[in-house]
Amino acid sequence: MLAYAAHLANPVMYMEEIVVPRLTRHRVPAALPVADIVEDASKGLIKSPRSMPPKYFYDERGSQLFDAICETREYYPTRTEEALLRSCAHDVITQLRPDHIVEFGSGTARKTRHLFDACDRAGETAAYWPFDVCEEMLHDSGQKLVQEYDWLQVNTLVGDYLGGLTGLPPREGRCLYLFLGGTIGNFTEDEAATFLDEVRAIMRPGDGLLLGADRVKDSEVLHAAYNDDSGITAQFNLNLLHVLNRELDADFCDSNFEHRALFNTEASRIEMYLVSRRRQSVRIKALEHTLELEAGEKILTEISRKFTPANLESLLNDAGLAVQRHFEPDNGWFSLVLAEVEGAPVTQS
């Protein structure tokens, strides 16, 4: 594999380590300025409206809790997207014949296995590049994948995709980019536009982007998905406080906060908050600051935007991408869109 050999020759530049045969680890340098947790907390927590970026949910425990959310009865997006992937994988793989599959926010890469299975069946091989902030998750899923697929080269990319994509190691041949799980909805409109511009900038004619996005639907269904009865989403939300305590030497007490998620119909988004149960002071040593919170004060920890097919199409078009295929279930609960660089068909011989 040429691209692989090329960056092996320059391990310092791409900071590549070989973990086991067919499994490497790269740290992706940020090309755009990205704030660290100290900066994000001082911008987001000190004055209201208070908020924190969602990427801090995903330490090792947070990633495990997210995985458990995906198994809950109420959280339909994972199951729905997985069924779509299962049924479209063969078409996508045989149409693109990708040499590389690059996935943003890959998590456990559970659903991505349908694409590897389709490669297996079509006699294709591809290198997999999962890109995630959670290093433990990347490492564990990478180890499992090289054991499960004896042809798969896995190159993990540890980093923050908000830092831009120009720092990715070079790849030769066709790329299929994946952004699944409705994670595009966790961006604001501006962040989503910037991110898709970045993706478009690294795409070449013949490459594809498979984007999974959650759809506008009955607000009860949406509400339940972010308020599961077993309280796993609540634990996931509250886990942010443990991350803040550890990283910022703070003394948040999770029993003083409650999880709240609601669907804001006007903005077409789920908003998730940690709500202060009482008037309280929280010391954040790394910021040399004490937060004074009133009873009922909220910290916005996540948004999850819900799309219509028209919204999605214009989001992609604005970035210079064209919808090539749109996969959706009969109930229209989720969209999986295959996009290509505008004016450049993905179809390959």
Q: Rounded to the nearest whole angstrom, what is the least distance from the CB of residue 201 to ligand TRP in the complex?
A: 23
Distance CA 27, CA 25 (A): 7
Q: How far is the CB of 11 from ligand TRP (least distance, A)?
A: 33
| Closest-CA residue to 102 (of 188, 42, 178) | 178
The CA distances from residue 81 to 47, 78, 89, 187, 211, in Å, are 38, 5, 12, 19, 10
Q: Which of 186, 239, 276, 335 binds ligand TRP (CB under 6 A)?
A: 186
Q: Pick from 58, 129, 187, 236 the residue near ligand TRP by CB under 6 A.
A: 236
Residue numbers 118-177 binding ligand SAH by CB under 6 A: 132-134, 160-162
Alpha-carbon distance 269 to 213, whole Å? 12
Out of 81, 103, 207, 302, the residue judged to bind ligand TRP by CB under 6 A: 302
DSSP state letters, 216-231: ---HHHHHHHTS-TT-
In the range 133-162, which residues lie near ligand TRP by CB under 6 A? none
The yes or no reply on residue 66 touching ligand SAH (CB under 6 A) is yes
Task: Report which residue's Cβ sits closest to ligand TRP.
Answer: 304
DSSP symbol at 331: T
71 contact partners, CB below 8 Å, separation of at least 6: 78
Min dist CB 318 to ligand TRP, Å, is: 21
Q: Which position among 95, 141, 183, 335 is part of the footprint of ligand TRP (CB under 6 A)?
A: 183
| Residue 183 within binding range of ligand SAH, rule CB under 6 A | yes
d(CA 77, CA 214): 7
Structural tokens at position 60: 């090792």
Contact 153, 127 (CB under 8 A): yes
Distance set, CA 42 to CA 34, 35, 45, 301, 325 (Å): 14, 10, 6, 15, 43
Q: In terms of CB distance, is 137 or 222 closer to ligand SAH?
A: 137
Residue 304's binding partner out of ligand TRP, ligand SAH, none, with CB under 5 to 8 Å set by partner kind = ligand TRP
* The binder of ligand TRP chosen from 106, 153, 276, 304 (CB under 6 A): 304
| 180 forms part of the interface with ligand SAH (CB under 6 A) | yes
Of residues 19, 339, 20, the one with CA closest to residue 158: 19
Q: Which residue in 16, 24, 41, 105 binds ligand SAH (CB under 6 A)?
A: 105
- Residues, the chain, total? 349
Q: Can residue 107 be called a binding residue for ligand SAH (CB under 6 A)?
A: yes
Q: Which residues contact 11 (CB under 8 A, 6 or more apart)?
A: 17
Give the x-and-dash track for 38-57 against ligand SAH (CB under 6 A). Answer: -----------------x--
Please, which residue, 78 or 301, has the CB nearer to ligand SAH? 78
Binding mask 247-286 for ligand TRP (x = CB under 6 A): -------------------------x--------------
- Please, which residue, 77 or 206, has the CB nearer to ligand TRP? 77
Question: Which position among 24, 112, 233, 276 is part of the footprint of ligand TRP (CB under 6 A)?
Answer: 233
Give CA–CA dist 11/279, Å, rounded: 52
Half-sphere exposure of 303 (CA within 13 A, CB side): 16
Picked from ligand SAH, ligand TRP, none, the partner binding residue 133 (CB below 5 to 8 A depending on kind) is ligand SAH
Give the span between the Cα atoms of 87 and 64, in whole angstroms: 27
Q: Which residues are at the interface with ligand TRP (CB under 6 A)?
A: 69, 77, 181-183, 185-186, 226, 233, 236-237, 272, 302, 304
For ligand SAH, the binding residues (CB under 6 A) are 55, 58, 63, 66, 70, 78, 105-107, 132-134, 160-162, 180-181, 183
